[in-house]
Structure 1
């Protein structure tokens, strides 16, 4: 499945057609038609009354928007040239509220368009047909800006300033539910988020809607699901998962009780596959030459002084018109380490703390079946899984879905720029796989008996292959042997738990993409099926046979973009997961312990979370890479916690992302601004500074302990002036959390300690307090101009989260 913010997910087709005679089309997408030469008559029957025929005359640069499954007859006036854009209904449903989606006007006259809007749409099309891969992000930006022309916001009867206090509260409650309708709702949590008591919220729904909170949520979910059934082809099972129903049967019963139809019957009412009819591809025109002529002659646009609102260069205007969905891929995967490490109670404590504060979806655990025990019963060997169940019980109680890494994977640490194996495996690779295949059926049956197949079918299994060892000619197993084992493992799991997802194989961005393509062709030739493809991403590069950290600040993001594009070219419908990523691939580098890594992490998540389905930072805890050389509070380990459980700066980045809203209204390389409603805004700011050549080649970067400025590129403080439009007039509380060299980072304090071998309770509490981000509070007023205006000052290597909440009128 493509990422929700991938261009091919948004626009399913864009082309230019020439027609001489009438034709009827019926699309599986939302269609937009714009005549560019001569007039075009459009005829269609009313969606709610088949006996009513509508007829519209479109002139050049008028736009006609029509829904999924609606037959439309196009009657050209002489020869007509028209542009057709097809948009994925799922993309639109995630982008707009149900009310806004349902209020779609079908005809947009050129005379009512702003010149910039028309120009932007056609320019976006020009970029798309010229080179959509190269211009992807510019096209997406144009697309978001122009969609508001087709999906105008629903205008309330009264302005927020005219609403009584009870009406504002009603708007706040209902808008929160609308914006989070796909989430799991719990009355206590919802009340806490809204600043209410559960008792008040319960009584409020009884008074206003004569129903319980749960019944209202269920009804609103069903209303939203009806749109997904009506306009998309997404399966009923996927829709049930998307809206957090425990099973499709529960959703089926709720649907039937509300409208007397099954999910399939409701979809069939609107979607009839036999009526689908696409335009004849033989009528497509050569694209780029026509657009070049069109844009250079008819639509050359020079904005006048009245077209553009005069602003200062450093002002960033943030508008709700450019809203888009904020992906959750950043919290898809929590790397927990190797199974044997969870014998350490500190690991369990850190896991509980992190999951409580951030709440990841999947927990990735490596070599789980190594915890299998053997028992001799009546002279027969039986497998025992009691140690595994202790770990799985903890994960499931924390609402973590197991992501089980299978395969022969060494437990390694990186002392310098080479790997040192610290966990010796006695068996050969092939014998390990043979034993794994022997244990796996009994393990899955035991899990289904203990947790139920409905739980186990949600688990994901990834079969690892070490491409780096193969590349360095150290591997004792070939890729073809790996494929045979993968197929066997997949068949075993699918035979017992058909719905479980199985994938692999951890391609590494360090390796040439020619090697990737060779493996993809091998997989395709062997007809290997994967439910997802996994990749690893680290900042290591090789120059002149020497490995070092990359000096290019965009190295990893560019590699991810190239990798996902390559994977999508071979497997366009398979999700991509970044199962491991970090800038430092060595686990003895002090860059991992300081503010640099938190700035990198924030920047990486912002730049890449829309490209993949999920990603997992490596790793949760320094305990997973502790060794005889690491009995210090910090030792350059690449975890989010140090080994005694004190959060590192990177830990706070995940907490910051947890606070972000569901809709992105502002996005650049320096910030991400989100919202849940006109009353709440969240803004994340970064002043990222990359390493210099000295740091790139240094083995441990110990200079960070006394002269950190010597390891980074020269930069200056940054000031951003932000203006958020359409804010509700009144007073807002600004709560700023800061992570920098002096806040949320104890590396400098630790370096000054005379002894850290044994910390007293008071020492630990002091360090824990120093590890917290700095907090600052202030208020600002918004007047009737509905402009929320504020300035953010960022020192080099600093991250700030600003939570902005409406508090009073």
Structure 2
């Protein structure tokens, strides 16, 4: 049985829809940007989607080699800074027309007050032994960037202080008071360099999030800190069941997540001086682990479509974690499809969720229709762009059909008129590289031919038809299989064609 619904869009309809899908994307630690495969995956993402900013960990971790020390002939220790790798990374980002959303962390080992680390690559998560040295490092880095890339450019890069300090794994003992000290001193140091920098926090995730947001704003009020924006993270699965290298998860109902995000909006708006302040979700995905097979599926793509349709309601931006699978929090992955966070699997293979982002990035215009399973916008030229998705919570469901009557403009008086309806389909039948990889025997090391085949199987199905208008209206019927996402365009067809050419005759009709 197919579930059907029909809608008619009125001529002057305007519906609120804040679509900032391409503002920011996540990445693994910054040092990974020195790898060729990383750059190839980011280039693919930028070519198809075109994100404005990129955020990741490890700016000050030792593999970036920025913070150094030496002892002079009098036995006095001095700090010095090495920006060689930073320049390589920033040059590569800017060459792809993407700019950093700077996350300040983790702690250089030589500066750290302790030995606690996180991840396979051992990012130090302890406070600085000397806060003056930390602030000097932050200032020296910003001044170097401004000198190299220009003040007007660099002051536009948002800055976030640390990552998930409410979790003891990311900030020693999840010490709130110590984090607030870090934030206040870092904020002041940045503004001393240039007051135009926009600085935010506390970049919390999950645990006691309401308490942390409220206490953070109370602290800013008490210390007269004019924080520029608030940041937090957003994940939507239950605790994983671990089997071998993998974590299997159950999705949460989307409304639970939206309700949790609303609490942050409500808390901020309860402070008169912070009311209406921007919220940036600097990480979001379904699961919070980098070995979750759900990330590679069409189900993930359909679920994320629902997220992208609503996250802009209360947040200025929402950064998917991450653009690609060159990522090492739990070590180097064993296979190309290992449940990594990325939109792109290793080997340069787009996952279904990649296309969800591509489709929403193309969804620019005036919103004329919006439900829990579809969004349609009208462009200035009178054409339409839309997305319909069929999200399932347990992986199974029924096909859906959504019909739309859309008013078409620009048809000369007295002409019946035609429209072109273009669709791009991503579902378990038409665009499912994971299924293809499984059918191949799940090879852990892909040959050139296997990569080529998987890339072919990772493209949307493109279809098109010409259809006569009825009373100036285009009738569009979109069928979506379970866990599917369908993008469509509807445009008026202008009369044309070569003398003597008859398409119907060519195809035998």
Q: Give the TM bin, normalised by the shorter chain.
A: 0.7 to 0.9
CA distance in 2, matches of 1:427, 1:718: 48
Task: Report the equivalent of 1:647.
Answer: 350
CA distance in 1, matches of 2:92, 2:333: 27
Describe the shift of the 1:736–1:617 C-alpha distance in structure 2 as closer, same or farther (beyond 3 A): same
Alignment of 1:641-790 (within 5 A): 641-677=344-380, 679-691=382-394, 712=395, 715-729=397-411, 730-754=417-441, 756-783=443-470, 785-790=471-476
Secondary structure of the residue that 1:498 maps to in structure 2?
coil
Describe the shift of the 1:751–1:742 C-alpha distance in structure 2 as closer, same or farther (beyond 3 A): same
Secondary structure of the residue that 2:307 maps to in structure 1?
helix
The partner residue of 1:584 within 270, 284, 287 is: 287
Does residue 808 of the first structure (1) align with residue 509 of the second (2)?
Answer: no
Deviation, structure 1 residue 464: 2.2
CA distance in 2, matches of 1:331, 1:566: 26
Deviations 1:130-186 (CA, angstroms, capped at 9, x unpaired): xxxxxxxxxxxxxxxxxxxxxxxxxxxxxxxxxxxxxxxxxxxxxxxxxxxxxxxxx
CA distance in 1, matches of 2:50, 2:97: 8
Task: Report the equivalent of 2:96.
Answer: 398
Deviation, structure 1 residue 554: 2.2
- Unaligned segments of structure 1, at least 5 residues: 1-312, 411-418, 692-711
CA distance in 1, matches of 2:392, 2:363: 23
Does residue 513 of the first structure (1) align with residue 204 of the second (2)?
Answer: no
Task: Report the equivalent of 2:84.
Answer: 386
CA distance in 2, matches of 1:733, 1:432: 65
Task: Report the equivalent of 2:300.
Answer: 597
Deviation, structure 1 residue 468: 4.3
CA distance in 2, matches of 1:362, 1:628: 26
Deviation, structure 1 residue 760: 2.1
Secondary structure of the residue that 1:431 maps to in structure 2?
coil
Describe the shift of the 1:803–1:510 C-alpha distance in structure 2 as closer, same or farther (beyond 3 A): farther
Secondary structure of the residue that 1:808 maps to in structure 2?
coil
Deviation, structure 1 residue 337: 2.2
Does residue 559 of the first structure (1) align with residue 260 of the second (2)?
Answer: yes
Deviation, structure 1 residue 431: 3.0
CA distance in 2, matches of 1:646, 1:520: 42
Task: Report the equivalent of 1:791.
Answer: 477
The partner residue of 1:529 within 209, 220, 226 is: 226
Whether the aligned pair in 1 keeps the contact of 2:236 and 2:254 (CA below 8 Å) is: no
CA distance in 2, matches of 1:422, 1:367: 12
Task: Report the equivalent of 1:334.
Answer: 25
Secondary structure of the residue that 1:447 maps to in structure 2?
helix
CA distance in 1, matches of 2:198, 2:118: 32
TM-score normalized with structure 1 length: 0.54
CA distance in 1, matches of 2:364, 2:99: 23
Whether the aligned pair in 2 keeps the contact of 1:362 and 1:400 (CA below 8 Å) is: yes
CA distance in 1, matches of 2:486, 2:101: 32
Describe the shift of the 1:577–1:378 C-alpha distance in structure 2 as closer, same or farther (beyond 3 A): same
Alignment of 1:220-235 (within 5 A): none
CA distance in 2, matches of 1:588, 1:657: 26
Alignment of 1:454-469 (within 5 A): 454-469=152-167
Describe the shift of the 1:365–1:485 C-alpha distance in structure 2 as closer, same or farther (beyond 3 A): same
Secondary structure of the residue that 1:742 maps to in structure 2?
coil
- Aligned-residue RMSD, C-alpha: 2.8
Deviations 1:629-671 (CA, angstroms, capped at 9, x unpaired): 6221101111111122211111111111122132101111111
Secondary structure of the residue that 1:329 maps to in structure 2?
coil
Deviation, structure 1 residue 512: 5.5
Deviations 1:176-225 (CA, angstroms, capped at 9, x unpaired): xxxxxxxxxxxxxxxxxxxxxxxxxxxxxxxxxxxxxxxxxxxxxxxxxx
Deviation, structure 1 residue 432: 8.1
Does residue 355 of the first structure (1) align with residue 49 of the second (2)?
Answer: no
| Higher Cα radius of gyration | 1
Alignment of 1:27-426 (within 5 A): 314-324=5-15, 326-370=17-61, 371=64, 372=66, 374=68, 382-408=80-106, 421-425=119-123
Whether the aligned pair in 1 keeps the contact of 2:368 and 2:378 (CA below 8 Å) is: yes
TM-score normalized with structure 2 length: 0.84
Deviations 1:426-474 (CA, angstroms, capped at 9, x unpaired): 684333866532322222222222111111111111002534424x998
Describe the shift of the 1:326–1:550 C-alpha distance in structure 2 as closer, same or farther (beyond 3 A): closer
Describe the shift of the 1:357–1:473 C-alpha distance in structure 2 as closer, same or farther (beyond 3 A): closer
- Unaligned segments of structure 2, at least 5 residues: 109-116, 241-247, 412-416, 496-509
Whether the aligned pair in 1 keeps the contact of 2:59 and 2:106 (CA below 8 Å) is: no
Name the structure where helix makes up a greater proportion of residues: 1
Secondary structure of the residue that 2:326 maps to in structure 1?
helix
Deviation, structure 1 residue 627: 5.0
CA distance in 2, matches of 1:745, 1:440: 44
Whether the aligned pair in 2 keeps the contact of 1:689 and 1:796 (CA below 8 Å) is: yes
Query: How many pairs are equivalent?
Result: 463
CA distance in 2, matches of 1:659, 1:474: 38
Task: Report the equivalent of 1:484.
Answer: 181
CA distance in 2, matches of 1:688, 1:361: 28
Secondary structure of the residue that 1:366 maps to in structure 2?
coil
Secondary structure of the residue that 1:677 maps to in structure 2?
coil
Task: Report the equivalent of 1:267.
Answer: none
Whether the aligned pair in 1 keeps the contact of 2:280 and 2:318 (CA below 8 Å) is: yes
Describe the shift of the 1:483–1:742 C-alpha distance in structure 2 as closer, same or farther (beyond 3 A): same
CA distance in 1, matches of 2:312, 2:270: 19
CA distance in 2, matches of 1:549, 1:453: 46
Describe the shift of the 1:347–1:390 C-alpha distance in structure 2 as closer, same or farther (beyond 3 A): same
Whether the aligned pair in 1 keeps the contact of 2:119 and 2:329 (CA below 8 Å) is: no
CA distance in 2, matches of 1:726, 1:427: 57
Task: Report the equivalent of 2:499.
Answer: none
Deviations 1:544-590 (CA, angstroms, capped at 9, x unpaired): xxx96454242222322332232222321321001011111222221
